[in-house]
Structure 1
Amino acid sequence: MALYSIAGDQLKPVQTTTFAQEAILERKHLQAMLRQDTSALGEDLLVLSEEFGQWQDSSRRIDLLCLDKARNLVVVEIKRTEDGGHMELQALRYAAMVSPMTLDQAIAAHARHIIHGVPEIEGPDLLIARDEILEFLELDDVEDAELTGDVRIVLVSADFSSELTTSVLWLLNKGLDIRCVKLRPYKMGDQVLIDATQIIPLPEAADYEIKIREQVEETRKVRTKRQEIFKRFWGQFIARSATHTDLYKQRTPTTDHWFSAGVGRSGFAINASLTEDRTRVECFIRLGKNNPAANKAAFKALLEKREAIEATFGGPLEWDELPDKISSRVYIDKLGAGWRTPEAEWPDIQDWIALTAAKLERALSGPIKSLSL
């Protein structure tokens, strides 16, 4: 696709260029920019490490090792060339090599990344890294944050050869979560523009393909008793919640301890979560890791309307700014009821979640949509 500028009543094509012509390098420029902001890759990722190479018998390094919201590792391989070289083969090796990584190892890798590769890490560094990972995953307890053991691959290049795309499509059809993102540079005066486009899988088919893969993945992921409990609980919850709210009608059961629904504005979610003996419904506020001020401003703006919000909700709510974290939350707990509660008593918990989520969404949707951020 071409890129155009508007000049009066005319479209003027913007000149294409190459990274080589603009002296834009892979590691120094492209990798550094993507490390600072992964949104060009089409999703919110936490960069665990850059140039990760903690291997015993190899000097190979992963450009960016990331974590996604589903607790999967993500290998990001970057090239500035017009064909991508053999990057899919490199990425497959890296994915295989990093697949045994545990949560503790991921925390250690992120700690080294935070302190810029210093080999010796100390307790405080590990705590900072752990908290950042929990914050990104929107979890309170490290016990709920264990990695899935799966590794996704994102290939980034100025363009891709037909041989590479054929390989990627075959891998995709075999169930490997792999995608290609094309970064096409343009020159507009003295300014270099980059058009970031996911070309595999095609965006038009991505939702369907992801849904099919998620169904297969959820079946395969049910490995432990706790995951089986969560999957069964949320499956029943979806059916029961339909009589109280439409928030969850398009969702599928998950093996996680939490369940989320949007409220019509990015950065705000109505979450339900279970611990052993506590059930929580909350509005979770996280507008982005690069804009903590906006997160806190949104929370404080809602807090100013607390009286009206709680009146609409029908009772008091807990308002937790989480001053040491990027995010904030407004929540209500049901104590003495959690995932260890006997299954015969689940309907009471599920009805409480559905009714409470509906009330919270009704109380907050208007104030959230009216926020000026």
Structure 2
Amino acid sequence: MSIFSLKNGQLNQVATTNFASESILERQDLQKAIQQNISVVAPNCLILAEEYAEWDSSRKRIDLLAIDQQANLVIIELKRTDSGDHMELQALRYASMISTMTLEHAVDVYRNYKHKNGDIDLTKEEALADLENFVEIELDETNFGNDVRIVLVSADFSKELTTSVIWLNERDLDITCVRMKPYKFEDNILLDIQQIIPLPEAKDYQVKAQKKAEERREKQKSIAVRDNSRYLFNGKELNKRKLVLEIIHEHIKNKGITSYRQLLEEFPQDLRKGKKLFREFNDAFTNESSRYFMNEYEVLNLEEGKFVISNQWGIGNIQSILDKADSLGYEINIINENAVIVQEVFYQDYCIQKFSNKTITILKNKVIQAPVKPILINLAREININTKNSRGNDKNTRTLGADIIEKLSEMKNV
């Protein structure tokens, strides 16, 4: 395709050029320009780093590293050549190396990137908040970087490269090729920027062709990431956020807790991974009101003042609260339509079941029993299982249940 100028009713073809002859460099010119306008090659992405090279033993560098709104990592590689110079192979190596990046590391990388670009006062907590505000999902370690996308940007691509990319995409990779072709018009350099793989107009067809593979991948993600479990506690069906609020308020009432110091002895701040579990009301109101329970009936009125509870709970950190509640003697039943029975043993009139989400359920004569913990303790004593862990504390329901299932399975096989 050619580009024409229209002047005085005349079409005049604009001459093509190349980046090398115009002394336009990859890093200093193209990369800097794309860095400031990332949406032209990778819409809905946020840059985490430029020239990323934190490998164990390599001098290779990712031109631009980004994150998309589903918390997938995005590798953006640039070439100013007319062939792409095997950049798909280079990007694949980068993808494999970057695939193990954790959310905590990504926060540090993003913070360093912002520092280098003038935001020297950005804290780690603020950097995490930036990422949480950008993505469209609840962000934690379990749903960060579950996929790696690749965006290749070049003046043009060889047939060998495009053939390779099409083949790889058919096998469920996610590689985009963006052609950035330069033209010279008078004293200006014009860029024709177009996505050529996958072709936008062919996207619907390609989606249908890959439907089975994508459905399988999405199903796996929905089980591992989009955990929609709900919880039965105090006769109420609660989501993760409301469960934490209910547990803490219930324990404060039951134990007569009146001070912040007493509260921290029962619920340490580090139960909320990456953020403070509690925060002073005024501090939260000024800085992060959307991330804490701020309604009047939710606020904790303690001797030291008003405190609020974090509402940022997901699959990556809810287990710490479940374990804590278990150790405090509270019974919580998990409702999850995706959970399946992974182990089941029978003993006397009981059926003890372990689910894929580690929930322990007990049936007696086919009737579900509650609470579970006292029954497990009695069974443990009968079959000579220690109810204490190595630190001398009571085992939680999930651990004790798993130990009992294992012991009963061994007894059955003897």
TM-score when normalising by structure 2: 0.53
Give, in angstroms, the shift of residue 40 of structure 1.
1.4
Match of 1:276 among 208, 229, 241: 241
Q: Does 1:209 align with 2:174?
A: no
Q: Return the index of the structure with the highest Cα Rg.
A: 2
Contact in 1 for aligned 2:79/2:154 (Cα 8 Å): yes
Q: Does 1:82 align with 2:82?
A: yes
- Secondary structure of 1:108 counterpart: helix
Contact in 2 for aligned 1:46/1:67 (Cα 8 Å): yes
- Which residue identity is paired with 1:86? H
Give, in angstroms, the shift of residue 341 of structure 1.
10
Partner of 2:153: 156
Match of 2:172 among 156, 171, 175: 175
Contact in 2 for aligned 1:47/1:67 (Cα 8 Å): yes
- Which residue identity is paired with 1:202? L
Give, in angstroms, the shift of residue 200 of structure 1.
0.7
- Which residue identity is paired with 1:147? F
C-alpha distance in structure 1 between counterparts of 2:120 and 2:188, whole Å: 43
- Secondary structure of 2:84 counterpart: coil
Partner of 2:382: none
- CA distance 1:29–1:210, change in 2 (3 Å): farther
C-alpha distance in structure 1 between counterparts of 2:286 and 2:7, whole Å: 48
- CA distance 1:4–1:122, change in 2 (3 Å): closer
- Secondary structure of 2:126 counterpart: helix
- Secondary structure of 2:12 counterpart: strand
- CA distance 1:122–1:3, change in 2 (3 Å): closer
Give, in angstroms, the shift of residue 154 of structure 1.
0.6
More displaced 10-residue stretch of structure 1: 166-175 or 122-131 = 122-131
Which gives a bigger RCO, structure 1 or 2 (Cα 8 Å, sep 6+)? 1
- Secondary structure of 2:24 counterpart: coil
C-alpha distance in structure 1 between counterparts of 2:123 and 2:110, whole Å: 9
- Kindly report which structure 2 residues correspond to 1:20-35, keeping only aligned pairs within 5 A, or say none: 20-35=20-35
Contact in 1 for aligned 2:70/2:136 (Cα 8 Å): no
C-alpha distance in structure 2 between counterparts of 1:18 and 1:172, whole Å: 29
C-alpha distance in structure 2 between counterparts of 1:18 and 1:203, whole Å: 25
C-alpha distance in structure 2 between counterparts of 1:114 and 1:7, whole Å: 45
Aligned length: 243
Partner of 1:133: 131
- Secondary structure of 1:149 counterpart: coil
5+ residue gaps, structure 1: 231-273, 279-321, 326-334, 345-373
- Kindly report which structure 2 residues correspond to 1:59-138, keeping only aligned pairs within 5 A, or say none: 59-116=59-116, 124-138=122-136
Give, in angstroms, the shift of residue 13 of structure 1.
1.5
- When the two chains are superposed, the root-mean-square deviation of aligned CA atoms in Å is 3.3
Partner of 2:5: 5
- Which residue identity is paired with 2:199? L
- Secondary structure of 1:92 counterpart: helix
Contact in 2 for aligned 1:83/1:158 (Cα 8 Å): yes
Contact in 2 for aligned 1:71/1:145 (Cα 8 Å): no
Deviations 1:218-275 (A, max 9, x none): 1231333x62538xxxxxxxxxxxxxxxxxxxxxxxxxxxxxxxxxxxxxxxxxxx86
Give, in angstroms, the shift of residue 42 of structure 1.
4.7
